[in-house]
Amino acid sequence: MKHSTKIHTLGILSFAHFVVDSYSLFLPIFIPILVLQLGITYFNASLLISSVTLIGAVFQSPVGYWADLYRKRVTFIAIGFLFYALGATIFALSNSFGLLLLSSLFLGFAGATYHPQSTSLIIKNFSRKGQVLGIHGAGGQLGRFISPILIAYLISRLQWRLSAVIIAVPAAMTAVLCWLTLKEPLERGEKGFGKTITKPILILMLVLGLRAATFTGIIFFLPSFLMERTSSINIAGLLTGVMLGVGLIAQPLGGIMGDRISKVKIIFLSMTALSILLFLFYLILMPMMQQTIPNYGALVAFLVTIGFCIFITFPIGMALSAELASGERVGSVVGAVFGGEMITTALTIPVLGYIIDTYGFGTGFVFLGMLAGAGAIVTGLYYVRSKRII
């Protein structure tokens, strides 16, 4: 593939990643509004989140396998964006928990169609995988940064239903863009879905699953926590965006570091630091947030550091998944790893929602710190036993 064509492909995929990851904050920003206007509980909200992740978990690896085997990578990417648009539209029309759940199912399937295929397209065209995946990740991170700010602004200025309809438009446009501009690779995936899963991949699924559960718990309930403390959805969206915006630096940096030093060490150190930060958040930041005038400087510092620890591992996890793939199974392996992450998230988020309903946000953050600590322990034990860099 010519250099100009590679740059074009990376540019389109980075923009598509921007749109995909914008939708990862779709439900979290709307949750406080759903609690107030539709009367759902945080446990109900956690079920919506879990349905998104569970559907994504079920379809991630099969979609990756089918897309590789039948050379339908670009097709599935385009279909996924159409499902994002449909999910947002159904969400806007929802007046009951049942329709909200249906919307979540559409969003969940949409989330299963992009990452395995985009990773496969990148791996096949670039040699410096970590660095390029870091650039690709920065596109998604920009979407995460802008999304909470933009969605919160739309909700504050318009009705929440109209806001959801407006948010559906970029997904439909991106579906057309990807279908018309991305080129399907000639390589066809190998048969044998069962050969995708190996012991190192299972361990990677567990570690990244614990990281994903921690990250998802933070981004899904942080806006509600901040709105409860500040009584402003705009401030909640801005502060959430600040934490997510750190990934614009952390993801490219993580990709470069992952090409040069041990990926497992980076994951271990980041998970350890994340666990410590979440416990300190409970011990130090929570009391500060109870004050009449919250200490926003300290809050921003904590959120920036937490975001850095999370996002530096994103390109590293994807690069590890691709390196562990055998033959033409990159999409299948990346799908399996993402699916494993989503299963872990789907199992833990309802527990987190119940904890927040029963004991409050503080205990919820402690629970997230325990998940990150468990991920650090598993990573450390694996590295010590293997005595090698994956």
Q: pLDDT for 256-286, tens place per residue?
A: 887 777 788 888 999 999 999 999 988 888 7
Q: What is the spatial distance between Cα 263 and Cα 314, in angstroms, rounded to a whole number? A: 11
Q: pLDDT for 7-48, tens place per residue?
A: 788 889 999 999 998 888 788 788 888 888 888 887 888 888
Q: Determine the average pLDDT of the residues in 317-321.
A: 76
Higher-confidence position of 196 and 225: 225
pLDDT for 230: 65
pLDDT for 250: 87
Q: Is the pLDDT of residue 194 over 70?
A: no
Q: What is the dihedral of CA 279, 23, 147, 352, to 10 degrees?
A: -20
Q: pLDDT for 120-141, tens place per residue?
A: 787 776 766 667 877 888 888 8
Give the length of the chain.
Answer: 390
Q: What mean pLDDT, rounded, does the chain reach?
A: 82
State which fold the 3-386 domain adopts: Growth Hormone; Chain: A; (1.20.1250)
Q: pLDDT for 160-186, tens place per residue?
A: 899 999 999 999 999 999 999 988 876
Q: How far is CA 249 from CA 136, 211, 325, in A?
A: 12, 19, 27
Domain ranges of the chain: 3-386
Q: Please state the pTM of the whole predicted model.
A: 0.71
Helices vs. strands in the chain: H and E counts, helices first: 17, 0
Q: Output the DSSP codes for 87-99.
A: HHHHHHH--SHHH
Q: Determine the average pLDDT of the residues in 115-121.
A: 80
Q: Is the pLDDT of residue 389 over 50?
A: no
Q: Degrees (nearest 5) of the Cα angle 242, 177, 130? A: 55
Q: How far is CA 145 from CA 52, 83, 238, 287, in A?
A: 21, 22, 9, 27
Q: pLDDT for 46-104, tens place per residue?
A: 888 888 878 887 887 788 778 877 788 899 999 999 999 999 999 999 888 889 999 99
